[in-house]
Structure 1
Amino acid sequence: MNIEDYHGVWVFLEHKSGSIVPVSLELLGAGRRLADKRGVSLAGILIGDGVKPLAEHAIAYGADCVYVYDAPIFKYYRTESYMKAIIAGCQKYKPEIFLYGGTSTGKDLASAVATDLATGLTADTTMLDVDAETGLLEASRPAFGGNIMATILCKKDRPQMATVRPKVVKALEPDYSRAGEIMEEPVELREEEIRTKVLDIVRFAVQRIRLDEADIIVAGGKGLGGKAGFEMIREFANTIGASVGASRDAVEAGWIEHHAQVGQTGVTVTPKIYFAIGISGAIQHLVGMQNSGLIIAINQDPNASIFQACHYGIVGDAFQIVPLLTQAFQQALGKEVEYG
């Protein structure tokens, strides 16, 4: 392999219900910065059935070009069919960097493509950069249980690939006056060549607030001591109209459900206000909430790492401070705000 033959940054444009998913738009913003630093183009690859109109949105969000694989065989996501389209694109155009959203689809597809192309893949990346001279993608993620940050390089193989967690990078403001190229690629796949068949799609919804969409989050950690501590912060959250989150320690102790976990192995969030109550501030947790607009921490330990990451910190007993905050907000608001 001659890595000098590879140029440009690509983003897999995942879509759902007729729209490009938010993490793909975020990656176009990250990809734009990488491409500009390298002095190369940014492209999106769009695969589906009847998806060509979405290409214009990708250009508005930063893409110079969108390669479209549009055919009935791509109506439903299947690893094998999508993988074959991406491999065809990579072999034809030779991108040097390829980014995927850290969704179930993105992770599944990226690993299959990396295996077939025999290249490297960094999973669950939280920070991206590129060496302008060498073109090496610097993909960083927490390692060793979230205790350190590791920057991973793929020096010998191309394309360099990474899956990136939602909400860790920001999308650009769309500019629908941007000019870009839409390339309709030939599709030579036949249905009989694909081993997996989609027989039915069953949809169901779980009634709960998505943490990654919450404007205010009250999160608790090991310092709350048990389920009773979470009842206390849930009352506070109810009062101010917030969602309840948790650290990994609290979830693993069984004090709260797994879907409330914030961090590297949970949900990445970007609320306007984030209360970290009884949370020490391990890297594993910080990478999931560090982009919050305002971070307020309450902890008994004045040396807790969370105080290095917050905007305001209160050193003290959460079981004394939180009820006072709840009472003050109830008085200020005149009534309790129903949670959810």
Structure 2
Amino acid sequence: MMLRFHGDAEVAPGLVDLAVNVRQETPPSWLTGPIAASLAHLARYPDPVEATAAIAARHGRPADEVLLTAGAAQAFTLLAQALRPAHAVVVHPQFTEPESALLTAGHAVDRLILDAEDGFTLKNPPESADLVVVGNPTNPTSCLHTSAQIASWVTPGRTVVVDEAFADTVPGEPETLTGNRDVVVIRSLTKTWGLAGLRIGYVLGPRDLIAELARHAPLWSVSTPALAAAVACASPRAVETERAIAERLTADRDHLVAALRREGVAVAGTPRSSFVLIRVADGTRVREALRAHGFAVRRGETFPGLGQDWLRIAVRDTATSDAFVAVLSKVMGG
């Protein structure tokens, strides 16, 4: 099923990875140290109490409104298992795991497709929807929607789920809904900190829903090293560092976008996250030619609402971006 295709499938030895939206720099010692130290305690079953309290404190929420998960992807599976929506709506293009999880759990899903022509501007879901899932900022479009519009979707009997896996890539997180106790927010600690292999994320939501999600979760599903990472990433030092990383990312992204536009490449919307979405003629040929020249990029046709001419590019350092744009310009020229 194409909904289960993800950027890691594009990567191969010898290729520059522009397909996976995970920061590639080595995590700082104050993060890797506690993870390494936790290995001395692997004979014990994981205890999430300290990490849950740390995440709750970071967001000013009670601990019973937080559930730690083995990455954001597990959170979508738990929601699909715990909820019984009569009319589920997923806003696309976006990360495909929410829809995949709902379908696997036997739910029917309607798609609300945003339009490329107006920069993937957010549209309101139908009034009949009792479950709405949206990404903010959205993967793969890199669009940042207003929290006020998303919050306005909350109505009696409706669950609004916001995938904020990339919220920390936006300096200051101006549109986060982590402080809104009427929505369900899913976060990831793997993108900015380069911890995709560790699998650590969390859900913020109403305590009754969090309790129901926990009931569906496997015992000890978050490992001891992942819990150590959660504690470290919730610290004031981590939040300060995270925001400095987001500022540098913004500069690197703006450099990439400017270089692409100088070459006449169509960049979707106003990118605000750690990736950009571009549209090129004969996208399959271009993507394959880029691979031949040493660059892996993310194909777009597996995202509902996009086609083969869309490619997602991860933001890297300016030297890597310049090298990529030079090769892209060459292959687009035939």
TM-score with structure 2 setting the length: 0.31
Larger Rg: 1
Q: Which has the higher strand share?
A: 1
Q: Which has the higher helix share?
A: 2
TM-score with structure 1 setting the length: 0.31
